[in-house]
Structure 1
Amino acid sequence: MPKVPVGLTAEGAGLAGDRVVAAGSTARVLVAATARALSGTDCGDLGHPTPLSRFTGAPEPVRRAAANRAAGRVALTPAQAAEVDAERVARWIVDQYPRRRYPGLVLGSAHGSAAHLAVALGVPWLPAAFELTAHWTRGAVDRPRAALDHGAAFAARLLAGNSDVHVRQIHCPASRGALAGATVALAVRWRRLPAAYTLFLADRLEPGAAVLLLRDARTWPVLDEGRGHSFQVGSPASGLEPVDFHPDAHALRQVLRSAGGDGAHWEPPEVSAPQGHAEHGVESGFELSARDWTGRHGHPLHQVLFPQPDALSAATADLYRRWLRRSGKTGDRLVVECGRLLDPWQVVRAGMVPYWCENATRRRVEGVEWWLAGSEPFSSVDVLPEPPGVRSPALAGLPQWLAVAAFGRRRRSLDRGSARGYPVSSVPTRRATEVLRNQPYDLPVPPPLRVAEAVDVLRDTGAHQGLLVS
């Protein structure tokens, strides 16, 4: 493998952050949404219809070919791997936020409620990782071993110029469909606070401002040989279990058939850690680095571990309800967001309670159903189901989404624009903005919460959900 020239990723070199970070990835959307909300604007400019929106009713092979072409246009080439500069990505992230002092900070795992928490606190959210995709020209969705070899070569080039990151590769045809055979998906996780983050904290935090670190505690079988690159087949975000990715699993055969693969070729590599942290986990070095920096500079650090995304979503929704009611608002109007369909500023502007579903899998939708069943009723429930763009046996059907909306006492709404073409269509983030703009204003916006208040509420409301707050 060619050696990376010394200094290739020095200050000012490398690819721009917006070229590196995958378009539509969770972390990228959440940073953009949070930064806009702190500037007093919504997400009306986020996301545009993809080429796939023109192929909703087309045969599967046509849709797969269109998806592969679209993915290939934005994925990084092997030659560009050496030009990835994780520090430049960190600078690109922090530069999106308004230049002023903040009373706190939220950072860590990518989760829609992280954005809502940050907006309620009036503070930025910084991710502990970012996602990118790399070309796999002769890839195959049903050959995870070949995916591992290709991803490892790409990761080696990237790691040669970025010693402070760990690269997690995810081969998951259940959540990525045919794209898992056209590109490889990589989560680049910082092993310590990047310099751009520490500078941001030093320059932008008010004296004594608290930091809230969110950590996704989900586990998944992982292959990690200690070279800075690890590999997992499947993902907890798929809505399936690790056993469902076994060659003999019926669910796997369904998934591969839908993605244009053949289960006969499925030979996943052996794992080294049956219970390793999944892709949205936070590197232990990142947590230790954050704890060290905040301790030395007089900033309290609170950590929130969530065993499933539903736990943080439910606790944040409960927090919003208390926050709104304390300000004289009803707190009786709920919006159920999904994936990239969210808009924190419009939620606050309308005085609504947000509950975020990670995706459209049955497991995540059941999470909001259970929470609603145990909560004080809402007068209105608006549901924004993001179509995943793939078919999978783990997905929730529209009747299940309608059942969520049915919890509303007076208003029950399932967005038709999101439901049209579900589950194989594609809907941009601005669709959530368009829907929420039609909600009545409920101004003024409540005064921002203090981090200490938020921690107390999360500890109180999240304990029975398995949320661990320290």
Structure 2
Amino acid sequence: MHKVHKGLTAEGAGLAGDRVVAVGSPARVLVAATARALRGLDCADLGHAGPVSRFPGAPEPVRRAAVSRAAGRVAITMAQVDEVDAGRVARWFVDQYPRQRYPGVLIGSPHGAAAHLAVALGVPWLPAGFDMSVHWTGGAVDRPGAALQHGEALAARMLAGNPDVHLRQVHCPASRGPLTGVTVSLAARWRALPAAYTQFLADRLTAGAPVLLVPDARTWPVLERGPGHSFQVGCPASGLDPVDFHPDSHALRQVLRSVGGDAARWEAPEMSVPSGTAEHGMDSGFELAARDWAARREHPLHRVLVPRPAALSAGVADLYRHWLRRAGKTGNRLVVECGRLLDPWQVVRAGMVPYWCENATRRSVDEAEWWLAGSETFSSVDVLPEPPGVRSPALAGLPQWLAVAGFGRRRRALDRTAARGYPVTSVPTRRATEVLRAQPYDLPTPPPLGVAEALSVLRDSGGHQGLLVS
């Protein structure tokens, strides 16, 4: 198979965007959900239950085998690596949005609350990067060094045709489970605005429409392997700390045991950068390019720096309550979403306040509880815990999720479908739609928020959470 080089490839050549971007990855789900909401549609067609959902009582080896087979069907093959075109991925993202003029745009790291914010403003949300999953024949969950060697070869081939991206390889059995041993996870971050984004901003923004950058500021130890490729063991979304990925860690032994690995074989490369930007951070070149474009086209640019996911989740939840009450609604009904279990359109249709947990870790749920404890009481609280499909000592148990629902004054609901088989089953995105469709309508929907008003509320409510709005 030929290598695909820019300038030598016909328009539209290479793999389609929906084939490149990992199935179920945050950016993919959030663009799909936001684009549907801007069309007045819900997420009833999004996601499919994974293979483990069909075997709720199956032994762990059977589960792992099912997950591995499923990964083999959707991951990029070695033969397809040269066909990856990051520019075509960017075009796929922007083409999902209705062809109309918008009063602004959000661009940044994948975060469910950012999607809700975009919908409240009536603007698109675009990711600053995307995730890929590539076959790793003969891989092992407990061999991060071998994963790095395999990833270096993949990165060299991808970067030959995509010099405008940085590839961060992530080896994290705590968040990806047995997939870590059969696929390599690559988070691609654009180092400049892709051409499709530049055209989208020029064609679809109204005169003077603001550009909002929402980068994830979390850090993690990183190993720089050369221009365009870096490597990390573990990730913030695992709910663990970097020290927990040391071979002497009790947490690591538990994780590896649950996914069929052995801590005695774990030898992670030494990281060269003790505190680099984590995998879903925004590349500095991308941010600089966005600032340059906005300045040249006379579009104001604002930055909402997110120190941890809960800060933005709390800020946007407070913003929704303000928005709903300004429109004469109560703002007293809360839905706590998790991971891919979200539906921005149904939230707006029902007049609910959304609080998004990045995942089902204790850390995420703890922060939701702290925010609820400090907030005005909600009359109802619906909780949608996404089962991660893996076992980990960092996960919240169902009693903790029930405690979150317990903050509701009259209604306290934990979705039974999501809870059934938790944490090792999987639930499709459309489950959130099914739950939210059962909520009473609260129409008409409020008129879109203005960006200046939204930033003011975020600055006031998110400041004590560490949210930096500029």
CA distances 1:107-138 after superposition (whole Å, capped 9, x unpaired)? 10000011100000000000000011000010
| Cα drift, residue 144 of structure 1 | 0.1
1:313 counterpart residue number:
313
- Distance in 2 separating the partners of 1:365 and 1:330: 25
Q: Which residue of 2 aligns with 1:283?
A: 283
State the shift of 1:46 in Å: 0.3
Contact 1:8 1:83 in 2 (8 A): no
Shift of 1:54: 1.2
**SS in structure 2 of the partner of residue 102 of structure 1:** coil
**Distance across 1 between alignment mates of 2:129 and 2:9:** 18
Q: Is 1:118 aligned to residue 118 of structure 2?
A: yes
Residue aligning to 2:414: 414
TM-score (norm 1): 0.99
**Structure 2 residue identity aligned to 1:175:** S
Unaligned runs of 5+ in 1: none
- Deviations 1:149-178 (CA, angstroms, capped at 9, x unpaired): 111111111100001000001000000111
TM-score (normalizing by structure 2): 0.99
8 Å contact from structure 2 (residues 3, 83) kept in 1: no
1:398-453 Cα deviation digits (max 9, x unpaired):
00000000000000000001000000000000000000000000000000001111
**Map of 1:459 onto structure 2:** 459
Q: How does 1:6-25 map to 2 (within 5 A)?
A: 7=7, 9-25=9-25
Q: 1:8 to 1:414 in 2, by over 3 A?
A: farther
Post-superposition offset of 1:50: 2.0
Q: Residue 81 of structure 2 contacts residue 154 of structure 2 at CA under 8 Å; is this kept in 1?
A: yes
Paired with 1:49 and 1:110, the residues of 2 have a C-alpha distance of 22
Paired with 2:6 and 2:280, the residues of 1 have a C-alpha distance of 31
Partner of 2:304: 304
**Residues 1:95 and 2:81 aligned together:** no
* Contact 2:377 2:408 (C-alpha < 8 Å) held by counterparts: yes
- Aligned residue for 1:24, secondary structure, equals coil
What does residue 398 of structure 1 align with?
Answer: 398
**Counterpart position of 2:356:** 356
Q: Which residue of 2 aligns with 1:134?
A: 134
Are residues 1:239 and 2:239 paired? yes
Paired position in structure 1 for 2:374: 374
Partner in structure 2 of residue 33 of structure 1 = 33
Separation in 2, partners of 1:4, 1:344: 37
How much has 1:225 moved relative to structure 2?
3.0
User: What is the CA deviation profile of residues 205-228 of structure 1, one whole-angstrom value per residue up to 9, with x for unaligned ones?
Assistant: 000000111010000000013320
Distance in 2, Cα, partners of 1:166 & 1:99: 30
Matched residue type, 2:193: L
SS of 2:369's equivalent in the other structure is helix
Alignment of 1:121-270 (within 5 A): 121-270=121-270
Aligned-partner residue type, residue 219 of structure 1: T
- 1:48 matched to 2:65: no
- State the secondary structure of the residue aligned to 2:83: coil
Q: How does 1:428-443 map to 2 (within 5 A)?
A: 428-443=428-443
In 1, Cα distance between equivalents of 2:124 and 2:378: 29
Distance in 1, Cα, partners of 2:84 & 2:225 = 22
| Amino acid aligned to 2:303 | Q
For residue 7 of structure 1, report the CA deviation from its aligned partner: 4.4
Shift of 1:2: 8.7
Please state how far the C-alpha of 1:67 moved relative to its aligned partner: 0.3
Residue 49 of structure 1 aligns with an amino acid whose one-letter code is: A
**Structure 1 residues 147 and 8 mapped into 2: Cα distance closer, same or farther (>3 Å)?**
farther
CA contact (8 A) 1:108 1:282 kept: yes
Aligned length: 470
One-letter amino acid of the counterpart of residue 388, structure 1: P
Amino-acid identity (%): 79
Q: Would the aligned equivalents of 1:304 and 1:468 in 2 still touch at CA under 8 Å?
A: yes
Contact 1:9 1:83 in 2 (8 A): no
Cα 1:276–1:10 change in 2 (3 A) is farther
CA apart distance, 1:57: 1.0
5+ unaligned residues in a row in structure 2: which ranges?
A: none
Contact persistence 1:8–1:161 (CA under 8 A) = no
